[in-house]
Amino acid sequence: MNRTELQKQYDEYKAMGLKLDMSRGKPSPEQVSTMERLLTAVKTNEECFSETGGDCRNYGGLDGINEMKRLLGEMLGVTSDHIIVGGNSSLNLMYDTVARSMLHPVEEGCKPWSKYDQITFLCPVPGYDRHFAICEFFGIKMVNIPLTEEGPDMDLVESLVANDETVKGMWCVPKYSNPSGFTYSAETVRRIASLRPAAKDFRIFWDNAYVLHDLTDTPDELPEIFTEAEKYGNEDMFFEFASTSKITFPGSGISCIAASPRNIKRILNALKIQTIGHDKLNQLRHSRVFKCYDDIVAQMKVHMNIIRPKFQIIYEAFENGFEGYDNVTWTIPNGGYFFCLSLPNGTAKRTVELCKEAGLVVTPAGAMFPYGIDPDDSKLRIAPTFPSCDELAIAADLLTVCARLAIAEKYGE
Ligand SMILES: Cc1ncc(COP(=O)(O)O)c(C=O)c1O
């Protein structure tokens, strides 16, 4: 199809007055409705007690109730003594962990990060915009690290952490990474676990947001990070985060931080100043609905069956729409909430613009990069979960038309 024909097709879409949104990586109403039983999992005064007899309506239990610590521990493959149960958002725990490190020494003999003129975080890209937003908020410099199918470019990571004492952190979404869906290989995990940073207070923020979020019956395997790190005496170098946001309710789930028992002690010392404790009734409701780990696994199958066809709809539209376009590729992950569309350099922003003018909102180009800048202007994040299947079919087709038109504008027919 030449540019004139593409323009005609695009104008037809524009005339339809569409109002579509494929920008949000959140569960659909159908998905959250599958957890209705959670709303009433604790109904009476008598039911408000944890397995140790603690009254979940009252103060106490800063690190969470035992049954929830056990469950989240199993989810991450660690024992309960590695877990602190948080509130409804793991992002909040990540923000707090960075904020604490800015204000208080992360390690004995170190100074708070805010006492440096400048500190740096390594940011595998494309990545999660809210990680980058936390860094920007605290004035932490970000350095792009290319993310491949194997994980971050470890040669680059190793050399940067080894030589610079002001490199203090690194973001990692090790499984079904947002947005590419890549899972770090065992070798990458080993190299991360065995890093020898110049900074004693270097920390890896291991955001395992998609730990159980498979989309196929052949899920990716990720080695458990604390087991790996222990082999190199690096247990303290990791803060791991997860939540039930995309298992139960994104607005009212349960989050956790996992860390070495030594770090857990340090975090609790600070946390006790910060809060009286998190919502234990919600923890109790979750542990009543998920009596064991297998119950969570069963719930993830329910999600998979709803989400998988949505990814398929877009893949099919892309296969048709981009047939013959060798310079357009996309990832096909085994899990997670997103995949990544790679367009020829210099066409991503224009594609988003054309989509918007035709009534389709997609994630802004650049959002997956520090400071909102995609150096190649080539990557788009595709988020299939929220819209209905009918909406997705139209949105995906329209997106291919917009991308092809953007390519034709820049590179000719
Ligand atoms: C990589 C990643 N981490 C964290 C979150 C947010 O998690 P929570 O709802 O627990 O704050 C998301 C949500 O999209 C995400 O993609």
Q: For atom 16 of ligand 1, which residue has the closest CA? A: 178
| Ligand 1, pocket-test mutation among 24, 130, 170, 386, most atoms within 8 A of CB | 130
| Ligand 1, pocket-test mutation among 132, 243, 368, most atoms within 8 A of CB | 243
109-126 residue pLDDT tens: 999 999 999 999 999 999
Residue 75, in any domain of the structure: yes
264 and 381 assigned to the same domain: no
Domain containing residue 319: CATH number: 3.90.1150.10
284 and 301 assigned to the same domain: no
Residue 223, in any domain of the structure: yes
343-359 residue pLDDT tens: 999 999 999 999 999 99
Residue 84, in any domain of the structure: yes
Whether ligand 1 lies within 6 angstroms of the CB of 128 is answered as: yes
154 and 235 assigned to the same domain: yes
78 and 158 assigned to the same domain: yes
In total, how many domains does the chain have? 2
Q: For atom 15 of ligand 1, which residue has the closest CA? A: 209
Domain region containing 357: 3-25+296-411
The number of angstroms, rounded, from the C-alpha of 167 to the middle of its chain's C-alpha atoms is 22
pTM greater than 0.85 (yes/no): yes
Confidence grade of residue 173 (pLDDT, cut at 50, 70, 90): very high
**Does the pLDDT value for residue 91 go beyond 90?**
yes
61 and 195 assigned to the same domain: yes
Domain containing residue 153: CATH number: 3.40.640.10
| Ligand 1, pocket-test mutation among 88, 91, 97, 147, most atoms within 8 A of CB | 91
63 and 113 assigned to the same domain: yes
320 and 377 assigned to the same domain: yes
Residue 32, in any domain of the structure: no
Whether ligand 1 lies within 6 angstroms of the CB of 321 is answered as: no
267 and 356 assigned to the same domain: no
290 and 306 assigned to the same domain: no
**Does the pLDDT value for residue 413 go beyond 70?**
no
> Identity (one letter) of the amino acid at 374?
D
**What is the mean pLDDT of the segment spanning 325-344?**
97
Residue 68's pLDDT is 98
332 and 321 assigned to the same domain: yes
Q: What percent of the chain has pLDDT over 70?
A: 100
Residue 1's pLDDT is 79
114 and 227 assigned to the same domain: yes
> Identity (one letter) of the amino acid at 75?
M
From 253, 273, 294, give the residue that closes a domain: 294
Q: Which atom of ligand 1 is nearest to the CA of 93?
A: 11
Residue 379, in any domain of the structure: yes
From 265, 294, 323, give the residue that closes a domain: 294
Whether ligand 1 lies within 6 angstroms of the CB of 178 is answered as: yes
Residue 35, in any domain of the structure: no
Whether ligand 1 lies within 6 angstroms of the CB of 236 is answered as: no
Residue 189, in any domain of the structure: yes
281 and 316 assigned to the same domain: no
Whether ligand 1 lies within 6 angstroms of the CB of 250 is answered as: yes
**What is the mean pLDDT of the segment spanning 170-177?**
98
Residue 356's pLDDT is 96
**Does the pLDDT value for residue 408 go beyond 70?**
yes
Whether ligand 1 lies within 6 angstroms of the CB of 209 is answered as: yes
From 261, 294, 327, give the residue that closes a domain: 294
Any bridge partners for residue 339, and if so which?
Answer: 382
Confidence grade of residue 15 (pLDDT, cut at 50, 70, 90): very high
Residue 61, in any domain of the structure: yes
Higher pLDDT, 68 or 413: 68
